[in-house]
Structure 1
Amino acid sequence: MSESVTAESPIEEIAPPRAVRLPPRPPIPKPLLALAFSISRRRTVALFARRYGSAFTLNLPVFGPTVVLGEPQLAKQLFMANTDDVGNIQPNLSRVLGPGSVFALDGTEHRRRRRLLTPPFHGRSIKNYEKIFEEETLREVADWPQGQAFATLEPMMRITLNAILRAVFGADGEQLDELRRIIPPWVTLGSRVASLPAPSRTYGRFSPWGRLAEYRKRYDAVIDRLIDRVAADPNLDARDDVLALLLRSTYEDGSAMSRNDIGDELLTLLAAGHETTASTLAWAFERITRHPEVLKRLVEEAATDDGDYRQAVLAEVQRARTVIDFAGRHVYAPTVELGEWVVPRGYSILASISLMHDRADDFADPDRFDPQRHLGTRPSTFAFIPFGGGTRRCVGAVFANVEMDVVLRTVLRHFEIETTSAPGEKVHSRGVAYTPKDGGRIVVHRRGTPLTEEGR
């Protein structure tokens, strides 16, 4: 017997997926493309964007068939897509950071984890960390050479590592000293191999993956001791460090993070909150020494409680010298529509942050370093994405911005920085992050009196 369809019982028709329609693909042999992408992925992508426009298709090493986007509206569609349709890029940094890292998670599990990680990096918690940022900066700059050029990248690496260690673990001690020895070489090595195919075996300590495994073994031993110490603290409920907050936190069903997941997540915070922030600060020093008018205004502001111009400078550094150049996703739905393009299951999609930040439509004369463009008006949300976008936007973005602000302010208050007419430093790839090739070199002279409203 057939059923009649009435107005009271409509049948919802599901439109079939649109036919696949991919952006243009450069006619370049895969081995040559792999070589160009591995040597200079940013330059390669910029070259293709000039030839093919805001979207193009590449067959990349590691990521496979990939659509690259360089237009904010397309990036918006990608970042706002259903997370069941478009998930985390594959492979991702979880290969280095572990399966319990937020980088490894997708869908519901990713949302649940972010809810646990958000509180330590917002609101009152960030205010508690400002004193740490200033203390670590003052400790590092105490023996800076005066009157001779030196690279700022390594000092910034030490400041950001020590700051995140104290924010995560709440104290200093022997275990943190061990982490200071483990984390820097691990992050450097991990950044270099993150975009390479993972071998089926590590080939022992003489291979990069074998050395990563050895670092991980040492790290796990330290973290186990730290977790035991913090969990046994009778004042656990009063502590505001990240480890204590994670140990106290539970998911909606009352369950807690496993010890392994906590270890992976802490490593993610230490690695992600360390190298990228330090690299941006090194670029900040490299940029302001070549723009006397910007440095002069920064110095004047540093004597006050204001910080709007300093924030604008940091934003322009993040735009003009983008440290992380891609935000990636993987297509799980049969197809995903991005403007006129229809991308099939199994493809990777890379939103090119560097292409977005170089768009003349959104940033007039994009090659000009101009902090003024970030004062009074703001670029559209998806034109300026130094921390990525959507549900996978960096959970530590506020932490990083406040840290960079405090570090830069502290240096300006205690040192006079010489300007230079030397050409800008070239961009250097460390694997994941881009840094100044010469490390962001500056020449400083200590002020007789720290620069404050009273000391001007």
Structure 2
Amino acid sequence: MNSTGTQVGQAISGPQAVRLPPGVPRIIPKVVQGIAFFAARRQVTEFLARRYGAVFRLEVPVFGRLVVVVDPALAKSVYTSRPDALGAIQPNLSRLLGSGSVFGLEGADHRRRRKLLAQPFHSSNMKHYERIVEEETLREIVNWPESESFATLAPMKRITLNVILRAVFGAEGAEFDELRAIIVPWARLGARLSVLPIPRRTFGRYTPWGRLADWRRKYDAVIDRMIDNAMSDPALTERTDIFALLLCSRYDDGSPMSRRDIRDDLLTLLVAGHETTATTLAWVFERLSRHPAVLAALAAEADTDDTELRHAAIYEVQRTRPVIDFSGRRVRVPEFKLGEWVLPQGYSIIVSISQCHANPDAFSDPDRFDPRRYIDGKPSPFAWIPFGGGTRRCAGAAFAKMEMNVLMRTVLRNLTIETTEAPGEKLQAGGLGFLPKDGGRITVGKLRAPRSFHRASHHPVGARSN
């Protein structure tokens, strides 16, 4: 609340003079601001925050006029605003994922879809998928080299993609292989094109946009075939994969999701879920290999049924190495009050996740890697925001948390990770977020007392070739 008792982040009912926060001078061309922002977003955000304070503005290509928020208190006002006041940032990933993706929906349509997605992604359903995560992790780590440094990012991507194809899509056999062959190149190219303007024409399959469209047509054909097969399955209502749960789900008026919406949202879950989770896990192993005491405590905990420290370590990695460093909204009302500022319709608001995570008022000594801060107390839900916040918070957050927890436990139960005194890996922009520059390299030592597999002979259920 401000001194007059008005909520700091809200739509304004009557006309009020626009009052913009300070920002980059207009004499600096938009294209120059854009190059700086997209090439070195974290450094530029940190520099401008030091210069202008908790909120500032700039103008960049594609996204247009931006107001950047770096303070958790103002982030709260963004995330708790009414959905009709702040909508999805434009453009967003629905350009690539399809108009039926939850990313692009607004108002009542968005609320209905989120309510529908909440059912299959409820935390109570996550137990169904733990076995799949463990199987895929065991299948992957059986091939990890001993006493030899290797990058974990690629193995993490293989695991998380396989998990999503099985747990979310319910894919097996030929469908599994077809989707894998389509999604990997589609996601790789789509990530590169995600912030570029979309041309009116694709100009054929030999252009990047043409290849993307061709892979999308193949994906749609596979999903349509899977829908046909599922609808004729007499055991459909007994299945626990998210694909089946979505097919069986109904809106409040009793209507089902359309085929287009199912295709678009499944693609959203796959693309937004597997790569970001894999990158976070690569950071997990990179960070733990540089903190021996934490790693030793986690290895001891893995042999028990406790999860407190493991969850805390994941939270701290997400805080100190957030893969996605901002979440955005767009002002839909004539004027929106943000703290002492009044923003006009059409402005976009970006909450800097990395800056909120580094806020010293929310996290004492924020540069220190300390999982115990989540055991000794809970941070503000608007200071720790790796999944975003408000009505547009990541729908698959519970699934991602479960997956990271089980994967970590499985690795720590079966392998020893050697520690290193090497400097931490630098951040590198790539794909849908910020990656460890060297791929999250670790060295695996001797096997611990085998609990679930033997390196030479175990072949977990559902094993497939890569």
- Cα distance in 2 between the residues matched to 1:39 and 1:281: 24
How many Å apart are 1:298 and its aligned residue? Answer: 0.8
Q: What is the Cα deviation at residue 208 of structure 1?
A: 2.3
Overall identity of the aligned pairs, in %: 59
Conservation of the 8 A alpha-carbon contact between 2:275 and 2:432: no
Measured in 1, the distance between the counterparts of 2:231 and 2:68 equals 45
Cα 1:110–1:227 change in 2 (3 A) is same
Moved over 4 A (4+): none
User: How much does 1:18 deviate?
Assistant: 2.1
**Match of 2:19?**
21
Amino acid at match of 1:21: R
User: Unmatched 5+ residue regions in structure 1?
Assistant: 1-13
Q: Which residue number corresponds to residue 7 of structure 1?
A: none
Task: Specify the alignment match of 1:11 in structure 2.
Answer: none
Q: How does 1:182-261 map to 2 (within 5 A)?
A: 182-261=182-261
The equivalent residue for 1:149 is: 149
1:150-182 C-alpha deviation (Å, 9 max, x unpaired): 110111011111111111233411011111111
List runs of 5+ in structure 2 lacking aligned partners.
1-11, 453-466
1:140–1:155 Cα contact (<8 Å) kept: yes
Q: Distance in 2 between matches of 1:157 and 1:446?
A: 24
The residue number in structure 1 matching 2:420 is: 420
Aligned residue in 1 for 2:269: 269
Q: Does 1:129 pair with 2:144?
A: no
Give the corresponding residue for 1:109.
Answer: 109
C-alpha deviation, 1:238, in angstroms? 1.0
Shift of 1:451: 6.3
Instruction: Please state if 1:340 is matched with 2:340.
Output: yes
* One-letter amino acid matched to 2:162: N
Q: 1:291 to 1:403 in 2, by over 3 A?
A: same
1:376-391 maps to which residues of 2 (within 5 A)? 376-391=376-391
Following superposition, the deviation at residue 375 of structure 1 comes to 1.0
Shift of 1:244: 1.1
Distance 1:20 1:122, change over 3 A: same
* 1:446, distance to aligned residue in structure 2 (A): 4.2
Please name the residue that 2:359 is paired with: 359
Indicate whether 1:85 and 2:114 are aligned.
Answer: no
CA distance in 1, matches of 2:451, 2:177: 32
Return the alpha-carbon distance in structure 2 between the equivalents of residues 267 and 15 of structure 1: 38
What are the Cα deviations for residues 277-304 of structure 1, in whole angstroms up to 9, with x where unaligned? 0010000000001111111111111111
> Which of 404-413 and 181-190 deviates more?
181-190
1:412 touches 1:451 (CA, 8 Å); kept in 2? no
Alpha-carbon contact 1:326-1:353 (below 8 Å) kept: yes
Written as runs of structure 1 = structure 2, the 5 A alignment for 1:3-14 is none
Deviations along 1:252-311, one digit per CA (max 9) or x if unpaired, are: 112111111111111011111100100100000000011111111111111111110111
Q: Name the SS for the 1:380 alignment partner.
A: coil
Q: Deviations over 1:93-143 (max 9, x none)?
A: 001111111011011001111111112112332011111111110011111
Q: Is the 8 A contact 2:149 2:443 kept in 1?
A: yes
Q: Which residue of 2 aligns with 1:6?
A: none
Aligned-partner SS, 1:132: helix
- CA–CA distance in 2 between the matches of 1:122 and 1:100? 21
Provide the alpha-carbon RMSD of the alignment. Answer: 1.4
SS of residue paired to 1:273: helix
Letter aligned with residue 403 of structure 1: E
| 8 A contact 2:169–2:266 mirrored in 1 | no
Specify the code of the residue in structure 2 equivalent to 1:19.
A
1:195–1:431 Cα contact (<8 Å) kept: no
- Matches of 1:55 and 1:323 in 2, distance apart? 22
Find the aligned partners of 1:281 and 1:269 in 2 and give their Cα distance: 18
Q: Are residues 1:281 and 2:284 paired?
A: no
